[in-house]
Structure 1
Amino acid sequence: MSPVLRAVLPAAALVLAACSEGTTESAPPPADAPPAAVLSGTDLNQPLRVLGTEPFWGLDVTAEGLSWSGVDETPLTAPNPGPGMMGAMAVWRTQTTDGQPLVLTLIATECSDGMSDRIYPLTARVELGERDFQGCAASRAFIESQPAP
């Protein structure tokens, strides 16, 4: 082996070792973790509140399910299948325990409820049976951090 090669080989080995130390793979998410679903900075896997006015109505979205409430209406529940992501939209398709189709669509556009100065990060549409409702949505944490309207 030439003297130049003998001098270069140890240095080359050190460079290769240094480069390979920083290439650790990150651990994959746990198998039971829901896939990341984020819209307008809102983590859709966290509890959400969807609401509207005229008439007042609300839809809570949690891992356990969707819960509908409205003025002078019987509360309804439905399983949460998780959102289907389509670009700047997320869509939940499910059925209430009394058999009505329930479709929740969230769109990544700011929304005003028309009754307060609050601006929500998401615009919402709820199709419940034959009825359509327009409103706003945000994480429960966002809503609870805002001053009361």
Structure 2
Amino acid sequence: MRSTAVVVACVLLAGCGDGPLGAAEGAASAPADAPADVATGPDYAGDFDLVGTEPFWAGKVREGAITLDRMEGGAVSLSNPGVRIDGEQGVWDAEQPGEAGAEGHRLVFRLTPQPCSDGMSDRVFSHAAEVWLDGTSFKGCAARTEDLARQGRP
């Protein structure tokens, strides 16, 4: 009886192929691993600074908040909702409903990777920027804060 069990176990083990579930009938070997150089999407991690002219404005993407500061109209800062990738673009879309006696806001930053000049300085930014605040749009440029610092720019 014991020898029968050993024989059955050997037959069952012999039927297993190279892979965990055995090789498919007629297959030369187990499936290949996925290629290591699989392309990933664009990287929008970290801080970004945005600028625009006519009218002058500045924006910031930080871990805790996205902020738009307008020379005329003051600053609006909303909790950073995280970036959403739309093709090659990075989009931050934050909304704060109004409370009793306070106005709500919707602030959207959309960055597109392409060289951009603000038209007023010699700076070249890595991204074009579009900003929407409560239905008003602004166009400008953006770059990672660390890249601007490397260029000696505030």
Normalising by structure 1, what TM-score? 0.67
- Following TM superposition, by how much is the alpha carbon of 1:73 offset from its aligned partner in structure 2, in angstroms? 2.2
Larger Rg: 2
- Following TM superposition, by how much is the alpha carbon of 1:144 offset from its aligned partner in structure 2, in angstroms? 1.6
Give distance in 2, aligned partners of 1:133 and 1:112: 15
- Following TM superposition, by how much is the alpha carbon of 1:44 offset from its aligned partner in structure 2, in angstroms? 2.1
| Corresponding pairs, count | 111
State the identity as a percent: 33
- Following TM superposition, by how much is the alpha carbon of 1:148 offset from its aligned partner in structure 2, in angstroms? 4.6
Give yes or no for the alignment of 1:101 onto 2:106.
yes
Higher RCO, 1 vs 2 (CA within 8 Å, ≥6 residues apart): 1
Name the one with the larger helix percent. 1
Give secondary structure in 2 for the equivalent of 1:142: helix
Give distance in 1, aligned partners of 2:133 and 2:41: 23
Normalising by structure 2, what TM-score? 0.65
Give distance in 2, aligned partners of 1:148 and 1:100: 30
RMSD: 2.2
Letter in 2 for 1:76: V
Query: Which runs of 4 or more aligned residues in structure 1 lie more than 3 Å from their structure 2 counterparts after TM superposition?
Result: none
Give secondary structure in 2 for the equivalent of 1:75: strand
Give distance in 2, aligned partners of 1:136 and 1:96: 25
Alignment of 1:1-149 (within 5 A): 38=42, 43-96=43-96, 98-148=103-153
- Following TM superposition, by how much is the alpha carbon of 1:37 offset from its aligned partner in structure 2, in angstroms? 6.7
Q: Deviations 1:34-60 (Å, cap 9, x if unpaired)?
A: xx873xxxx422111011011110111
- Following TM superposition, by how much is the alpha carbon of 1:133 offset from its aligned partner in structure 2, in angstroms? 0.2
Give secondary structure in 1 for the equivalent of 2:140: strand
